Amino acid sequence: MEALSARENLLAALPTYADPGPSFASTCYVWPTDDCSVGCAHCNFASPRSSKAFDRYRIADDADRALELVNRMGLWKAVLSGGGEPMEEPDFCERFIADIDSAQLAEIELITSAAFATTKTETARVLDRLHNAWRTRGSGKAEADFTVRLSVDWFHTKRIGIEPPANVLRVLSSPEYADVGCYLRSVLLDNDTTITDLANELGATLGAIEDYCQVMTLPNGREVLVYYKNLIFDGRMTSRRLRSLPVGVPKAAQADVFGERFRSATGKQVPARVYNGPDVVHLDGLACVLEASGGIKILEGNHPHRFPSLRDTTSWAEALEYLYRDPLTVTLVRDGPEGLVELIADHYPHVRDTSATTNQLYYLSDRILDDPVVALLATVRAVEDHVDAAVLPPRAGDPARHAHAVWERLHEQRAAAR
């Protein structure tokens, strides 16, 4: 397509940025797999194993390369997440917990639905292996904490019930697991008794919800934080479908309200530079994702179809150089999707409604940039903005003008066709 070709030509003609953004990743979300045995109706990535071919590339089968890449990022926090259910690949999770390292590494986190926790005995067996992988990390490695984050909400319990997360909490209540952190991530919904039901099952007590957080106190006195997020609307869960369910979305769970807690002191919301946990952390470095398919991405920080792959490189420096060759990455790392919207909303006002129609804070740039003609204008505007800010030399505006002429012709053709 002409717009794609014009954008690639523009990128090839641009000089290298002298100071595009951070050179390290403060956090990385590593997806051992994109398989999931739960497949909740509200999940962006629900991926039943039966729907996948078995000959695809998987980072869980390429642990050496994955660890070589991630260990060079300079992480503060390493997270096993998905894409899928990480514990579909328990051996990789153990290897990752044992071998992930960085001079700054403070925490290793495992996000799980707890679907593996079918009985208390099985739960103890699995958690003991993970716990042992962490406790026996070799000498010289960072003394990072280990935390288990349970995904517990109305949608998960409709699939697997309340017993699996209850089993995990029962096991973690044992004294030998006192050094393992744990918290729950739920979805804030009206008419949802999931967390109350879980507390009742455990004989625990619940405090009030404040700033999307609630404390569950287990019978032995251990306190477990419950952190609520907003429900995502996309192709799998729509507002129309939600209306047929007994739960609803309160005002506090709408993206425009929930997202305010992630703004920086300057008023920017830049997902590529934020850890969005119960305690919001504005990062010095980047928030990155290593997908199960090998994609190396910056959270809301790259064009949806242009990113390096673990299949081709284990060098973090090389991957980052490739990402920063794209002006859109530089814009998204500095100003986030809101900054991207401001570049093009005069011609494409619909992009202002993207977050409102998906009710999410992430993958907005994927939606905005998926149209090659829109992405071409965004790239041209980003170059012009960076020239004006002296981030790029003035000559960078010359290839941008050529690309703008291509965009203008394509835009006018579309307008005439309508």
In this prediction, residues 188-194 reach a mean pLDDT of 94
Bigger pLDDT: 84 vs 226: 226
Look up the CATH number of domain 23-253: 3.20.20
- Chain centroid to Cα 21, Å, comes to 19
pLDDT of residue 139: 85
**DSSP string spanning 80-146?**
E--SS-GGGSHHHHHHHHHH---TT--EEEEEE--TT-SSHHHHHHHHHHHHHHHHTPPTTS---EE
In this prediction, what percent of the chain has a pLDDT beyond 70? Answer: 95
- Read off the pLDDT of residues 318-348 as tens digits, 9 standing for 90 and up: 999 999 999 999 999 999 999 999 999 999 9
> Given this model, what pLDDT does residue 268 score?
94
> Taken in order 52, 55, 56, 60, is the CA torsion positive or negative?
positive
Please tell me the pTM assigned to this model.
Answer: 0.94
Q: Name which of 155-159, 245-249, 351-355 the model is least confident about.
A: 351-355
Range in 184-198, 292-306, 326-340, 354-368 the model is least confident about: 354-368
Of the given ranges (48-57, 123-132, 246-255, 288-297), which has the lowest mean pLDDT? 48-57
pLDDT at position 356 over 80:
no
pLDDT of residue 21: 97
Question: What length is written for the chain?
Answer: 418
Q: What is the mean pLDDT of the chain?
A: 92
pLDDT band at 49 (very low <50, low <70, confident <90, very high): low
206-245 in b/e form (b: 16+ CB < 10 A) is eeeeeebebbbebeeebebbbbbbbbbbeeebeeeebeeb
- DSSP per position, 274-292: EEESSSEEE-SSEEEEE-T
Structure confidence at residue 41 as a pLDDT band (50, 70, 90): low
pLDDT at 371 over 90: yes
Q: Give the CA radius of gyration of the chain.
A: 22
- List the structure tokens of 181: 């952190």
- pLDDT tens digits for 197-213? 999 999 999 999 999 99
Classified as helix, coil or strand, 159 is helix
What is the edge-to-edge ordering of all strands in the sheet holding 286-290? 205-206, 213-217, 223-229, 181-187, 145-151, 107-112, 77-80, 25-30, 286-290, 296-298
Reported as a pLDDT band with limits 50, 70 and 90, residue 55 is: low
Q: Are 100 and 61 in contact (CB under 8 A)?
A: no
State mean pLDDT over 289-317: 94
Choice among 129-133, 162-166, 310-314, 333-337 with the minimum mean pLDDT: 310-314
Q: Which amino acid is at 310?
A: L
**Confidence grade of residue 10 (pLDDT, cut at 50, 70, 90):** very high
Query: In 359-417, which residue ranges form alpha helices assigned H by DSSP?
Result: 364-369, 372-388, 397-417
The answer to whether 181 and 147 have CB atoms below 8 angstroms apart is yes
Q: List the chain domain ranges.
A: 23-253, 326-417
CA 321/CA 329 separation, integer angstroms? 11
Span 288-296, average pLDDT: 95
Residues 6+ positions from 47 with CB-CB distance below 8 Å: 34, 35, 36, 39, 83, 84
Q: What pLDDT shows up at residue 138?
A: 86
CA distance 206 to 223: 10
Mean pLDDT of 36-44: 69
**pLDDT tens digits, 68-98:** 999 999 999 999 998 789 999 999 999 999 9
The torsion angles phi and psi of 5, rounded to 5 degrees, stand at -65, -40
pLDDT of residue 44: 61
- pLDDT value for 235: 57
Q: Is 46:52 a contact under the CB 8 Å cutoff?
A: no
